[in-house]
Amino acid sequence: MGLGSIFALALLVATGLGTVNTWAQRVSFVIATGPSGGTYFPMGRTLAGLISHPPGVERCSGTYACGPEGLIATAQTSPGAYANVVAVNAGDVDSALAQSDVVAQGVAGHGPFKTAMKHVRTLAALFPEDVHIVVVAHSAIKSIADLKGKRVSLGASGSGTMVTARAVLAAFRIPMSRMRASNEAADVAAEELASGKLDAFFFVGGAPMPLVQSLVLSGRARLIPIDGEGRKRLIAQTPGTAAVTIAASTYGAKTSTQTVSVEAVWIVNDATPSATVYALAKTLFNPANRDTLDQGPPSAQEVSLSHAALSPPAPLHPGALRFYREENALPKR
């Protein structure tokens, strides 16, 4: 969507032209996110508001206070991370949010990806996301092994949750045929668990997740761990995952929960001009924009230059690479 137009705009920015708001070319820039009830959509709206640079906006008068002049960004709902990686690779959207483990599998052509997603590039790692396995509070389910024979939602088709859930089950050697698996979106799965139609559901998102918090605090659900040898296999087999613990206080539980986390990553197509991506990175990490992020959703408050380029699941876009080099934000060798 508009890569050619963005290239024309990037030339104006790079050459110092197009500085008069009254005639700057307007260019649409889409950020594909996820379902409206998830973590990605509110984060995408915050990013879109940050980088949009319409004529006459006083906030944008500072250097890199907004994105390239004329850029009008919008957050677009989508099925989730898997669909987003495919869409960015095909050039169907300008950019997207996706899980690091899903991006890594896409670049390698592993898991659900039939071919390598060769045109996906990283702009920035944004915030951590924990893998939640939510079960009925008074059920006998204590571990992943106990999911056998149960009604379990693995996440909506096209979502990152679905990809990660399948990787978890494979690492714990639980065949799909041993469960009554389904593919509800997180909000639907939460409702069905509360009404007794599901025994458990997977969800990947930044903790605390409101829909999980509501279920746990009301006594209708609890979390089970991802731990032991299965977790070790999962991390070894799935790049982009790391061992973490969800503190008991996060959901008002009695004990902490061992699990794994991934990173939410902002990705772009490799054809996006370097000048555009450089400007977006510069805007995202402009100290003048820190308050905007801190006033956004909890996930936006986690955005930090210190880890944005540490372990990219896809190669850094040249424009992003230029920015991180200038900021000395690349890993030390």
For 145-176, the pLDDT digits (tens) are 999 999 999 999 999 999 999 999 999 999 99
Give the CATH architecture of domain 3-127+265-326.
Answer: 3-Layer(aba) Sandwich (3.40)
The per-residue pLDDT for 23 is: 47
Q: At what angle do helices 274-284 and 318-326 cross, to 10 degrees?
A: 40
Higher pLDDT, 13 or 185: 185
Q: Please check the confidence at residue 1 and state whether its pLDDT lies above 60.
A: no
pLDDT band at 17 (very low <50, low <70, confident <90, very high): very low
Q: Report the mean per-residue pLDDT for the chain.
A: 91
The per-residue pLDDT for 209 is: 87
Higher pLDDT, 298 or 5: 298
> Taking the domain 129-262, which CATH number applies?
3.40.190.10
The per-residue pLDDT for 11 is: 36
The per-residue pLDDT for 216 is: 95
Pinpoint the residues of the chain covered by CATH 3.40.190.10.
3-127+265-326, 129-262
The per-residue pLDDT for 5 is: 45
Q: Are 187 and 35 in contact (CB under 8 A)?
A: yes
Q: At what angle do helices 160-171 and 81-90 cross, to 10 degrees?
A: 120
For residues 196-205, average pLDDT? 96
User: What whole-number percentage of the chain has pLDDT above 70?
Assistant: 92
Burial class (CB in 10 A: 0-12, 13-18, 19+), 49: middle
The per-residue pLDDT for 24 is: 56
For residues 280-287, average pLDDT? 98
| Alpha carbon distances (Å) from 93 to 77, 98, 162, 269 | 12, 13, 21, 8
pLDDT band at 70 (very low <50, low <70, confident <90, very high): very high
Instruction: Give the model confidence (pLDDT) of 245-277 as tens digits.
Output: 999 999 998 899 999 999 999 999 999 999 999
